[in-house]
Amino acid sequence: MGAILAFAAAGTVAWSGRPMVIPIPWAIPFGSLSFGVDRLSAFFLFPIAMVGGLGAVYAGGYLRRSSGVQAPRFFWFFYSIFFAFLLLVVTARNGLLFLMAWEGRSLASFFLVMVEHREPTVRSAGWTYLIAAHLGTACLLALFILLGDRNPTQDFEGFGVSGREGIRSLLFLLALIGFGVKAGMVPWHVWLPEAHPAAPSPVSAVMSGVMIKTGIYGLLRIMMFLGEPTLWPAWWGWTLVGLGALSGVGGVLLALAQKDLKRLLAYSSVENIGVISLGLGLWLCGVRVGNPAMAALGLWGALLHVWNHAVFKSLLFMSAGAVAHATGTRSLDRLGGLIHGMPFTSLAFFAGSVSLCGLPPFNGFISELLLYGSALAGILQPEGLRRIPVLAVGALGLMGGLALACFATAFGIGFLGQARSEEAAQAHEVSFLIAVPMGVAAVVCLGIGLMSPLAVAFTSFAAFDLMPILPGVIRVGGWEIPALFQRILVANVALCVMLVVLMAARRILLLHRRVEESSTWDCGYAAPTARMQYTASSFIWDILAMARVLRPRVKECRPLGLFPRSARLGTEEQDIFQRLFYNRLWRGIERCSDRLRRLQEGRNQIYVLYLALTVLALLLWKLGFSQ
Partner 1 sequence: MFDILKARLKQKYRTLSYPKGPPPPLPARFAGRPVIGGRPCDTRCRRCADACPVGALQREEGQFPTLDTGKCLFCRECPGVCPTGAISFTREFRLAASSRERLTVTADSQGIPPVRHEIAATIFRRSLKLRQVSAGGCNACEADTNVLTTLAWDIGRFGIQFVASPRHADGLLITGPVTRNMQLALKKPTTRYRLRNS
Partner 2 sequence: MNPPILCSLRNGETAVCSQESGVSFEQFRTLLGKGIEAGHRLSALFVVPDDSFDGARLVAVLARPMSGDLQMIGCAVGSSYPALTPGIPAAHWFEREIFEQWGIRPEGHPWLKPIRFQPPRSRSGGRPSLLLPTVGVTEFFRVEGEDVHEVAVGPVHAGVIEPGHFRFQCHGETVYHLEISLGYQHRGIERAVGEGNSPRMRHYIETLAGDSTIGHATAYCRVLEGLAGVRPSPRAEAVRMIAAELERLANHIGDLGAMAGDVGFLPAASYCGRIRGDVLNLTAELCGNRFGRGLIVPGGTGFDLDQTLESELKRRLDDIEADALSAIEQLFETPSVLARFDGVGEVSESLARQIGLVGVAGRASGLPCDVRSEFPYGFYQFVHVPVCTWGTGDCLARALVRRMEIQQSFAAIRALLQSLPADRSPPAVMTLAPRRWVASLTEGWRGEICHVAATDDEGQLAFYKVVDPSFHNWFGLACAMRDQLISDFPLCNKSFNLSYCGHDL
Partner 3 sequence: MTPAFSFVSFGLAITLSPLLLGVIQKTKAFFAGREGAPLMQPYFDFVKLFRKGGVYSRTTSWVFWAGPIANLAAALLSLTFVPLGRIPAPAAFPGDVFMVAYSLSLGRFLMVLAALDTGSAFEGMGASREVRFSLLAEPVFFVSVLTLAVVTQGASLSEIYGTLPRHMVHQGISTIWLAGGAVALVLLVENARIPVDDPTTHLELTMIHEAMVLDHGGIDIGFVQYGAALKLWMFSALVAGAFFPFSSARPFLEVMGGIGGVFAVAVAVGIVESSMARLRLIRVPQLILLAGVLALMALLWAAR
Scanning 328-357, the segments in alpha helix (DSSP H) are 338-341, 343-356
User: Taking the complex as a whole, how short is the minimal distance between the CB of residue 512 and partner 1, in angstroms?
Assistant: 14
Q: Restricting to residues 431-450, which ones interact with partner 2 according to CB under 8 A?
A: none
Q: Is 433 exposed, middle or buried (0-12, 13-18, 19+ CB in 10 A)?
A: middle
Shortest distance in whole angstroms from residue 496 CB to partner 3: 9
Binding string, 359-388, against partner 3, x = CB under 8 A?
xx----x--xx--xx--x--xx-----xx-
Residue 164 near partner 2 by CB under 8 A:
no
- Residue 357 as a binder of partner 3 (CB under 8 A): the answer is yes
Give the span between the Cα atoms of 546 and 441, in whole angstroms.
35
Is 524 an interacting residue with respect to partner 2 (CB under 8 A)?
A: yes
Partner from partner 1, partner 3, partner 2, none binding residue 563, C-beta < 5-8 Å depending on class: partner 2
Q: Does 532 bind partner 1 (CB under 8 A)?
A: no
Neighbouring residues of 545: CB distance < 8 A, sequence distance ≥ 6 = 551
The helix or strand, by DSSP H or E, that contains position 22, with its residue range, turns out to be strand 22-25
Query: How many residues does the structure list for the chain?
Result: 627
Total binding residues for partner 1 by CB under 8 A? 10
Counting contacts by CB under 8 A, is residue 533 touching partner 2? Answer: yes
Among 16, 67, 230, 518, binds partner 3 (CB under 8 A): 518
Q: Is 570 in the site for partner 2 (CB under 8 A)?
A: yes
Q: Which candidate, 185, 298, 300, places its Cα nearest to that of 246?
A: 185
519 binds partner 1 per the rule CB under 8 A: yes
Q: If binding is defined by CB under 8 A, does position 522 make contact with partner 1? A: yes
Determine the residue type at 368: E
Cis amide leading into 361 (omega within 30): yes
Q: Is residue 577 close enough to count as binding partner 3 by CB under 8 A?
A: no
- Binding piece for partner 3, criterion CB under 8 A, among 71-79, 400-408, 448-456, 589-597: 400-408
Q: By CB under 8 A, tell whether 527 contacts partner 3.
A: no
Type of residue found at 367 = S
Interaction between residue 491 and partner 2 (CB under 8 A):
no
Q: Pick from partner 3, partner 2, partner 1, none: which does 529 bind, CB < 5 to 8 A by kind?
A: partner 2
**Cβ-proximal residues to 589 (8 Å cutoff; 6+ apart), any chain:** none
Q: Which residues contact 201 (CB under 8 A, 6 or more apart)?
A: 58, 62, 262, 317, 318, 320, 321, 322, 324, 325
Q: Decide: 141 and 99 in contact? Cβ < 8 Å.
A: yes
Q: Which does 357 bind (CB under 5 to 8 A by kind): partner 2, partner 3, partner 1, none?
A: partner 3
Would you say 511 or 515 has its CB closer to partner 1? 515
Burial label, 16 (beta-carbon count in 10 A; 0-12, 13-18, 19+):
exposed
Instruction: Kindly indicate which of the ranges 385-393, 402-410, 510-518, 616-624 contains the residues binding partner 1, using the contact rule CB under 8 A.
Output: 510-518
Residue 30 in the binding site for partner 1 (CB under 8 A): no
Secondary element (H or E) of residue 391: helix 387-415
Verify binding: residue 327, partner 2, rule CB under 8 A. no
Task: Considering only residues 571 through 600, tell me which ones interact with partner 2, judged by CB under 8 A.
Answer: 571
How many angstroms separate the CA atoms of 489 and 113, rounded? 40
For residue 104, the Cα-to-chain-centroid distance in whole angstroms is 20
Q: Which residues contact 438 (CB under 8 A, 6 or more apart)?
A: 58, 315, 318, 319, 322, 344, 345, 348, 430
- Measure the CA–CA gap between 262 and 268, rounded to whole angstroms: 10
Q: Which does 394 bind (CB under 5 to 8 A by kind): partner 2, partner 3, partner 1, none?
A: partner 3
Binding to partner 2 by residue 334, rule CB under 8 A? yes
What 8-state DSSP symbol labels residue 465? G
Binder among 400, 437, 449, 471 for partner 3 (CB under 8 A): 400
Q: Which residues contact 347 (CB under 8 A, 6 or more apart)?
A: 442
* Among partner 3, partner 1, partner 2, none, partner that 402 touches (CB below 5 to 8 angstroms by kind): partner 3
Q: Which among 160-168, 270-278, 315-323, 403-411 is the span making contact with partner 3, rule CB under 8 A?
A: 403-411
Q: How far is the CB of 244 from partner 3 (least distance, A)?
A: 15
- State yes or no: residue 535 binds partner 2 (CB under 8 A): yes
Q: Taking CB under 8 A as the rule, does residue 333 contact partner 2?
A: yes
Among 1, 27, 29, 525, the residue binding partner 1 under the rule CB under 8 A is 525
Cα distance between residue 406 and residue 544, in whole Å: 11
| Residue 383 in contact with partner 1, rule: CB under 8 A | no
401 vs 559 by CB, closer to partner 2? 559
Q: Which stretch binds partner 3 (CB under 8 A): 40-48, 72-80, 257-265, 507-515?
A: 507-515
Listed in sequence order, the DSSP H helices in 199-330 are 201-206, 212-224, 234-256, 261-289, 292-327
Burial environment of residue 260 by CB neighbours within 10 A (0 to 12, 13 to 18, 19 or more): buried
Q: Binding of partner 1 at residue 598 (CB under 8 A)? A: no
Is residue 521 close enough to count as binding partner 1 by CB under 8 A?
A: yes
Name the minimum Å distance from CB 566 to partner 2: 7
Q: Which 206-265 positions form the footprint of partner 2 (CB under 8 A)?
A: 259
- Distance CA(211)–CA(183), nearest Å, equals 8
Residues that bind partner 2 (CB under 8 A): 259, 331, 333-334, 522-529, 531-535, 537-538, 541-542, 545, 558-559, 562-571
Residues that bind partner 1 (CB under 8 A): 514, 516, 518-519, 521-526
